[in-house]
Structure 1
């Protein structure tokens, strides 16, 4: 086997291993095999991905390896097809996120993981025991309130994570292809990130409609919260891209260019300002006037 092929398998397996307890690291997973599919053919790329999943089955558990295969397999195939056929960036990222979301949810349900099982007494006991082992001063009631709140917003968090992983897969794959000049593909840097206006309008309309017709039903309230979180996150990333665009235009480099977005992420008031900036950008497209 070619050494570079072996390196892809090892890298993919290591990233997926870390992803079992830190899911955000999966941003760096699909592009390994997606890039290989673009440069050496989809058969080779998907074969390396399959071997990586088989190693996960052997090293950890059959169910975990199967979950990774089901969640990312269709995503890699579909994104490869869209990249090869020069689909635009937004379409590729959103479709890739949809494939990841559907594949992951179907795999979890097939393995018996659902909201009922996540509320089981065994899970709650394990969480309470874990926070005690870390010397966290929270009672069982407080831990259950935090955990239940997390479950309520889990649909939104899963969708946001899927979008982040899909964008990361596209960004890293295209950057790699451009650096090697292996394949000519379209590319839009983060500072020019855009969101289709129809999606923003649909989000605002959905939140407004759910708020008006929610009444006293808790289900509608939870749906509204999840929709608000999803579109708030989209506007946040759009606003953050505007800030990075301004820093780029002002030729700001080094420490300040890193700290400005970091503070924007960590400071709650700044988060709201960035979301508002993203909303304004989605309506008026200020960056287009300065390109």
Structure 2
């Protein structure tokens, strides 16, 4: 699996590319997307400056940033200049409540090649922010998240560092939707289930409704830990999709006696047998289990793969 398409909608509004003045007549009804084009002479910072000066731009409530290198080589260029300008010009965007940095497809740049930036200044600059989404983990820094309104935090990577996992978990915000794409160790993932001990103990995010620990090489360990976690008694959605869940993790969840309250359990892209799926379906009527995978045998070992790595 790869990230094959750009966003069509975000924060409840259609995404519309902004390339020049006049492209968007009503910023209040769409989500503008700023992105460089191959062989373009316009940097992302230039596009942002043009948009900020456009009539009606102040009504923008959600903003998406796509490819940020004029030559298309986002693995060499970070969004730092655009982040700096966005923060400096925050007063021109008083209505912002949703941001997405990295709407970049695999054709434009593989997820693990995306060079990211430092977002610490975002949290105080945009006090109305409710959603923050970011794709790509190279040199990504969330900083200390202290926010009164942020309820959705999504970090998508092909390989997430332990330090980044810990930054996300340290968020001091009313998080309802917490989503991490943990990725493969070949692409920098070095976290473990132990890093989530406080979360699984119920010490974090008291308003949490959706827990999405996706694209993980240790889905079974996550499932086993969650089977004994008080989180299962209060969240509405558990998403372990895109990972390596097998019968081991499925059995732990199914026998926990705690799945009946879930509105959705998503394990899509999994390695669970028909017997394991039957156990899960008996424990919850709300199972999503698309995209069954087959393990590989390599060098005498059984190999399981996440959906998104490179």
TM-score, normalised to structure 2's length?
Answer: 0.32
TM-score, normalised to structure 1's length?
Answer: 0.33
Specify which structure has the higher proportion of helix. 1
> Does 1 or 2 have the higher relative contact order (CA < 8 Å, sep 6+)?
1
Specify which structure has the higher proportion of strand. 2
